[in-house]
Amino acid sequence: MILAPHGRDAFVALGMLAEAGLQGYVVGDVSQLVEELGSGAGFAVLTEEAISSSSVHALCEWLDQQPEWSDFPFVLLTQRGGGLERNPEASRYLEMLGNVTFLERPFHPTTFVSLAQSALRGRRRQYEAGARLHELNELAAELEHRVEERTAEREAAMAQLHEAQKLETLGQLTGGVAHDFNNLLTPIAGALDLLQRKYGHADERSQRLLSNALQAADRAKTLLQRLLGFARRQALQTRAVDIRDLLSGMRDLISSSVGPMVDVRLRCHQELPAALIDPNQLELAILNLSVNARDAMPNGGPLTILAEPVAIGPRSTPKMKPGMYVRVSVIDAGCGMEQETLARAVEPFYSTKEFGRGTGLGLSMVHGLTAQLGGGFGLTSAPGEGTRVDLYLPVAGDIAPSERRAAVEAVGAVGRQLSVLLIDDEELVRMATAEMIRDLGHTVVEASGAAEALARLNQGLSVDAVVTDYKMPGIDGGELSRVVSETHPEIPVLLITGYAGPTDDIVDLPRVAKPFSQAEIAAALRDLFVDDEKIVRFPHPPAKSTRSFR
């Protein structure tokens, strides 16, 4: 760019540049110069009088707004020398223009061309540096974006881990108190059962009060099982279950969980076969889905739980083994899900709820349950149209037993009086259990721990059966049963337990879950004997104990 408005300076400079093979453009004033500079230029040639007689505010503003890589070069043609000692105005121009070279007129063409080429080389290096800086800035921005993404992912993972740890802690705490909680319920339920059998028939009022108390104890037992199922992983205990009875029994629990604004509707097919399931886990799954449906309907609405038999053929959706299934559907009229959310709905830890209101494990746990049962899982949803979750449960070959409790169950005797060694470290539980067994006509010898029980057996105590608690200080029921099977193989062992943790060491032993009724303990004792012979309790030879019991 050449700004030399007076005389022939502009054309002389333009000619010199052309002879050197350089292209130049002549501009008429500072405003036009600034406009052309905005399109890009190698350097500018200015005459001293061009900028001394014009406003250079626009030029100074353009220079101040240069990119960080740019330092635009000027060649200033002066009349009174280029140095500060000969040209007092030079310092002002230097401060104003920055990267400026002074050239006093008249000048030799070689000197002018040399300055021009030097300025162009410097400007090219600036552009190259600007390009590299731009690349670096892009890389830095991309890196920063990646860092932000990774940081957000890490924070999300840490939040999910925190929620999982909270769930694990809840499971540990719940499992820890389960034994004590069941021990508290056992003497209550046992005493109520005995009182009902002895005095319930005396008058209608006593019968009603005792029956209500027993029902409350049963509900407390069921509630504890559900809480444990929420808080821990457990092996499935499948059996034939009447889904109609299961859903009917859950109606009150579902209604209280979802609140009065949700209209719970149960629809069960008349000819509904039994399903092979773990009833506790299925109840938890249905309750979890019902709570999710409630959250999707903040203003309330209908919640339909449908159970019907379905036949699944080849190439079905979802993919399952062909056959008959019981389909349990939980259908809401809520906000629904978009396709992106629907595609990720069963991913572990994926949740659309705000932080602290969900772990993102609900649907993944339900999906895993149906797969573990040998069934299938279906999920359909659309924004504004609600959500439907289908659980396909395998049909059982056996007829499901009734889950309803009779007013007073018949207690069958074994056929002869038994001598029972009862071991429990909780005195209240031991006393209540002993009274129930004695009331059946059997003889009971009590021991407060496994060491005491083994000492009595080693001293010659003769008993027909051992009934022991599982979790006890020192020697637990699992270890005790192994020792008894080795030293007294003729004596069967029955475990009574309220423990909620892993029980792999006693998987082959008969057991009764606390709290239990007199009918349950009677049936368990009766099942220990077949045709008055001891049943086989260990299908595989037990490992030799490494502990010494004296």
- Of 10, 109, 110, 117, the closest CA to residue 73 belongs to 117
CATH H superfamily, domain 419-534: Response regulator (3.40.50.2300)
Q: What is the pLDDT of residue 164?
A: 58
pLDDT at 103 > cutoff 90: no
115-124 long-range CB contacts below 8 Å, 24 or more apart?
115/75, 116/17, 116/20, 116/22, 116/43, 116/45, 116/75, 117/20, 117/22, 119/42, 119/43, 119/73, 119/75, 120/22, 120/42, 120/43, 122/73, 123/41, 123/42, 123/43, 123/72, 123/73, 124/42
pLDDT tens track for 318-351: 778 888 999 999 999 988 887 776 666 665 544 5
Between 232 and 73, name the one with better pLDDT.
Answer: 73
Do 515 and 221 contact (CB within 8 A), yes or no? Answer: yes
For CATH 3.30.565.10, list the domain ranges present in the chain: 243-394
> Mean pLDDT lowest for which of 13-27, 56-70, 79-93, 513-527?
79-93
- Rounded Cα distance between 163 and 357, Å, is 10
pLDDT at 539 > cutoff 80: no
Across 501-509, average pLDDT: 57
| CATH number for the segment(s) 2-107 | 3.40.50.2300
pLDDT at 453 > cutoff 60: yes
> Reduced to 3 states, what is the DSSP secondary structure of residue 449?
coil
Helix axes 518-527 and 109-199, enclosed angle (nearest 10): 90
pLDDT at 59 > cutoff 60: yes
Q: What is the pLDDT of residue 381?
A: 86
Q: To the nearest whole number, what is the mean pLDDT of the chain? A: 79
Do 373 and 249 contact (CB within 8 A), yes or no? Answer: no
Across 300-312, average pLDDT: 92
Per-residue tokens: 198? 């002895």
pLDDT confidence bin for 504, thresholds 50/70/90:
low
pLDDT confidence bin for 545, thresholds 50/70/90:
very low
Q: What is the pLDDT of residue 11?
A: 87
For CATH 3.40.50.2300, list the domain ranges present in the chain: 2-107, 419-534
Between 328 and 184, name the one with better pLDDT.
Answer: 328
Which letter does DSSP use for residue 255 in this model? H
pLDDT tens track for 240-254: 899 999 998 888 888
pTM equals: 0.47
User: Looking at the domain 243-394, which fold is it?
Assistant: Heat Shock Protein 90 (3.30.565)
Burial class of 307 by CB neighbour count within 10 A (0 to 12, 13 to 18, 19+): buried
Q: What is the pLDDT of residue 528?
A: 83
Q: What is the pLDDT of residue 147?
A: 92
Taking CA atoms, 402 is separated from 137, 244, 305, 405, 406, in Å, by 73, 11, 21, 8, 10
Q: Percent of the chain, pLDDT > 90?
A: 19
Across 300-324, average pLDDT: 86
User: What's the CA dihedral at 247, 253, 258, 259 to 10 degrees?
Assistant: 130
pLDDT tens track for 371-422: 778 888 888 888 888 889 999 999 987 555 544 443 334 444 455 788 999 9
Q: Using CA of residue 468, residue 469, residue 474, residue 476, what is the dihedral sign?
A: positive
Give phi and psi for 40, each to the nearest 5.
110, 135
pLDDT at 452 > cutoff 90: yes
Between 230 and 44, name the one with better pLDDT.
Answer: 44
Across 42-58, average pLDDT: 85
β strands within 58-99, DSSP E: 74-78
